[in-house]
Structure 1
Amino acid sequence: MNMPGATQPRRFCRSGPLHGRILVPGDKSISHRAIMLASLAVGTSTITGLLESADVTATAAAMRATGASIEQVKPGVWRIDGVGVGSLLQPAAALDMGNSGTSTRLLMGLFASHGIQTVFTGDASLSRRPMGRVIQPLALMGAQFTVNADDTLPLTMRGADPAVPIHYRLQVASAQVKSAILLAALNTAGSTIVVEPTPTRDHTERMLRGFGANLSIDIGDDGARIITMQGPQDLHPCDIEVPGDPSSAAFFVVAALLVPGSDLTIANVGMNPTRAALLDVLRAMGGSIEEEDHRVIGGEPVADLRVRHSELKGIEIDPASTAAMIDEFPILFVAAALASGRTVTQGLEELRVKESDRLAVMSAALTFAGASVEEHADGLTIEGTGGAMLRGTLPGQSIATMLDHRIAMSMAIAGLVSEAGVTVDDMRPVATSFPQFERLLGDVQCR
């Protein structure tokens, strides 16, 4: 990742109890999709609670470049005047996606059925991440690609005009691949079918219906989800309220579980069942996590989470839960490092092609901070301390996060439960997903 400005090392020290009530920023996955679909609706949509991070603003910039009018009314509130399905304009220049893999893969799908040519670029980190899994189905629909030999950015895509509907069975559990196909299907005549053997986050399906798209979801004989869209579709504008991001809430959930004496409420957290596996795992480890005031916001289930310090125990985590908590494994590894006994994870090959190789980087980071970690090809085995503090890092030493925002925040939380504290080498990447992280952490420590 190419980050502007000087590095921003931070030291996170052993903490007293965490108390209070906080709001985490809007869900990143939902924010991306809300901007895209509002940009395709004919009329004005208003989005409140939008995550204003570098990744989401990259999506907004791309939709502006293809014709949508996008305006920030006030912090967290955005107004979008869409151009209509099939009416996207040719961007005048390459689209810089920064570090956002979600922006890139979903926009590839959105543009694949429009007859425009688009060049996607990104920072050094994004340019190492594989795009072949999205290119394959979109090419079957008729999109044409000029790309590096290893299917990485920069790439040039010429959208199909007209696109061809496909029947596609996902090769890997990926909400981004599924979503890319469904977004391409919006401007494709005929029935496009996506078969999903392992359920992944369903924000795209929920939001498509909210904007008026007609799609059906059935369960096959083998238990796979079969998603069918009959295109082309017209979208109508609507107002969206974005719930709090469960992936962002996860850092504070684990912090409150680990820091003795903590009693913390995290309000307005999205509780979509395709995203809630981390809470189930932490409860299985003995965590006290209560869900209060269940409600529905923008078609998404939401609740307040009350989290209290708990004595955690190590468990063997079912690989079937991986897709529903893929982004939360770095902070789960921190929880495992303080648990009693052994935590075993497997089936996590996907973590090796995220913003960093999250298995290797978290293994090295936790080991450096004093945890007992064994790395495998597809997961980590962690022998917990039984609640005893980690050693931490000595003055002058820092954790190498490889400019990965989730590694940086996870190791910041590890610093709260370490004897010497933990120095994170650079907190700048946190701006891609959770710009308020350090401020909120200070708020709950000072109450």
Structure 2
Amino acid sequence: MKILHTNLRTGLTGELAVPGDKSISHRGVILGAISRGTTELTHFLLSEDCLSTIRAFQDMGVAIERRDDHVLVHGAGLNGLNQPRLPLNMGNSGTTTRLLLGLLSRQDFTTELIGDASLSRRPMRRVTEPLTQSGSAFKVSARGTLPITVCGRPQSAPIHYRLPVASAQVKSALILAALQADGVSTIVEKQPTRNHTELMLRAFGAEIEQRGLEIKVSGRPELVGRSLKIPGDLSSAAFFITAATLVRGSEIRLANVGLNPTRTGFLDILRRMGGDVTVLNRSDDGEPAGDLLVRHAGLHAVSLSSQDIPGAIDELPLIALLATQAEGITVIHGAEELRVKETDRIAVVTEELRKLGASVTELPDGMTIQGPTPLSPRETHVVDTHGDHRIGMMLGVAALLSRHELRLRGEDAVAVSYPEFFSDLDQLLSAGRPVRP
């Protein structure tokens, strides 16, 4: 078990470049693989999830070179993938799984997708059912989970589908299937979700039009590889933003963080709570980015509804943590999607924050949090990731506020998205200034 930093007597200070965006890293490999020519990805996220995507395409015959965080994908074209000799192992990556379900559903071979124990509990019918209604075929277990056999059916018919859920992964799976159809497919979202797939496909040469919630995808594009510098992952930066906001005396700068408007819900909510975050040096090379200057701030409670959730879904455990130190009662509704992540994050966040004395009540679609409350262990000094990378990192930040020692069980889960998280946290702590009593 890992001993966490507690009883902090300094604020967080200094500058840090967080690893590359996870969503963009996944898509960079996928789109590079189905393009012609070479795609060059710099500042690629070397997490277990993204490495699962690389290995899957290597198993389908795509040549991929990796030197540190620099990745070269030698594209095979949209019809150049080969049937793998063995099942494709998705590891723990839900993004790899769901996007490949869409891409492979219209290839001319059959593929089995498998994953680790955690991924094999996550629901996949939300992807396979829309694709099945659009002409694809799968062999799915009664539970609707991995392993899944994708029965490739090259078809020319375009897709016309209205999404019943707000999900960027389902939308992206349908778009990747639509690329392989003749004519124009139409996909209508329930609510706006992260749009990395659409932005990146346009950069690779696809024809995608969007009007409001309606997305039109022209099939059979000639995708061409390109060079892409991946911005820092806002979901990774959010852990340090939360830490600097909560710990007195903190002032940090996070360099070149992605600021796609479909991903900045966390920053919007934090500002509503009274957080102090300033954007500097804005840039836009297809994906907007900028440096974030974050200072400690006092917070107040907010109420969140289903409209707030899609842009901050991955950061909701951190919003719950922030709420434990905010004045008043924070209420989160419309977040039932959290129950089908790597863990049931509503239940797990409630359980782990209660271990530290927080006043958290679990709701069917969210939680209520009464603040501010001191955080220190009550009956146990052991907190648990439950095998969920984001829970592990959230607890690493929560521990900074504890006056007593804490130990983290299952710390290896953090490597799924951010292998260097604890060393990067150490970097900001080691430069810290003493906090006034």
* TM bracket, shorter-chain basis: over 0.9
- Superposition TM-score, scaled by structure 2 size: 0.96
Give the match for residue 5 of structure 1. none
Alignment of 1:118-267 (within 5 A): 118-219=111-212, 225-267=213-255
Q: Is the 8 A contact 1:295 1:303 kept in 2?
A: yes
Which region of structure 1 is more displaced relative to structure 2, 308-317 or 11-20? 11-20
Q: Is the 8 A contact 2:330 2:370 kept in 1?
A: yes
Which of 343, 350, 364 aligns to 1:356? It is 343
CA distance in 2, matches of 1:421, 1:284: 32
Give the match for residue 430 of structure 1. 414
CA distance in 2, matches of 1:106, 1:421: 41
CA distance in 2, matches of 1:184, 1:309: 46
Q: Is the 8 A contact 1:143 1:163 kept in 2?
A: no
Aligned partner of 1:234: which letter? E
How far the C-alpha of 1:119 sits from its partner, in A, is 0.4
Alignment of 1:260-299 (within 5 A): 260-297=248-285, 299=286
How far the C-alpha of 1:141 sits from its partner, in A, is 3.0
Q: Is the 8 A contact 1:28 1:56 kept in 2?
A: yes
Give the match for residue 390 of structure 1. 375
Give the match for residue 222 of structure 1. none
CA distance in 2, matches of 1:262, 1:129: 38
Q: What is the CA deviation profile of residues 303-360 of structure 1, one whole-angstrom value per residue up to 9, with x for unaligned ones?
A: 1110000001111123201001100001111111111111110001000000000000
How far the C-alpha of 1:197 sits from its partner, in A, is 2.3
- Superposition TM-score, scaled by structure 1 size: 0.94
Q: Is the 8 A contact 2:206 2:218 kept in 1?
A: no
How far the C-alpha of 1:393 sits from its partner, in A, is 5.6
Q: Is the 8 A contact 2:42 2:69 kept in 1?
A: yes
How far the C-alpha of 1:421 sits from its partner, in A, is 4.0
Aligned partner of 1:335: which letter? L
Give the match for residue 355 of structure 2. 368
Which of 314, 318, 321 aligns to 1:327? It is 314
Q: Is the 8 A contact 1:322 1:347 kept in 2?
A: yes
Q: Is the 8 A contact 1:393 1:421 kept in 2?
A: no
Give the match for residue 20 of structure 1. 14
Q: What is the CA deviation profile of residues 22-48 of structure 1, one whole-angstrom value per residue up to 9, with x for unaligned ones?
A: 011000000000000000111111100
Secondary structure (helix, strand or coil) at the match of 1:408 reads helix
CA distance in 1, matches of 2:95, 2:249: 37
Q: Is the 8 A contact 1:369 1:422 kept in 2?
A: no
How far the C-alpha of 1:147 sits from its partner, in A, is 1.2
Which of 39, 56, 59 aligns to 2:33? It is 39
Q: Is the 8 A contact 2:105 2:150 kept in 1?
A: yes
Aligned partner of 1:241: which letter? K
Secondary structure (helix, strand or coil) at the match of 2:107 reads coil
Q: Is the 8 A contact 1:393 1:420 kept in 2?
A: no
Q: What is the CA deviation profile of residues 163-211 of structure 1, one whole-angstrom value per residue up to 9, with x for unaligned ones?
A: 5312101111000000001111111112111101200000000000000
Aligned partner of 2:143: which letter? D
**Structure 2 unaligned regions, length at least 5:** 432-437
Aligned partner of 1:432: which letter? V
Q: Is the 8 A contact 1:411 1:422 kept in 2?
A: no
Q: What percent of counterpart residues are identical?
A: 44
Q: What is the CA deviation profile of residues 245-281 of structure 1, one whole-angstrom value per residue up to 9, with x for unaligned ones?
A: 0000000000000000000111111000000011011
CA distance in 2, matches of 1:422, 1:286: 28
Q: Is the 8 A contact 1:31 1:50 kept in 2?
A: yes
Q: Is the 8 A contact 2:304 2:332 kept in 1?
A: yes
Secondary structure (helix, strand or coil) at the match of 1:399 reads strand
Q: Is the 8 A contact 2:358 2:374 kept in 1?
A: no
Aligned partner of 2:423: which letter? R
Secondary structure (helix, strand or coil) at the match of 1:12 reads coil
What is the RMSD computed on CA atoms of the aligned residues? 1.2
CA distance in 1, matches of 2:156, 2:112: 19
Aligned partner of 1:17: which letter? G
Which of 327, 333, 356 aligns to 1:346? It is 333
How far the C-alpha of 1:152 sits from its partner, in A, is 0.3
CA distance in 2, matches of 1:25, 1:370: 32
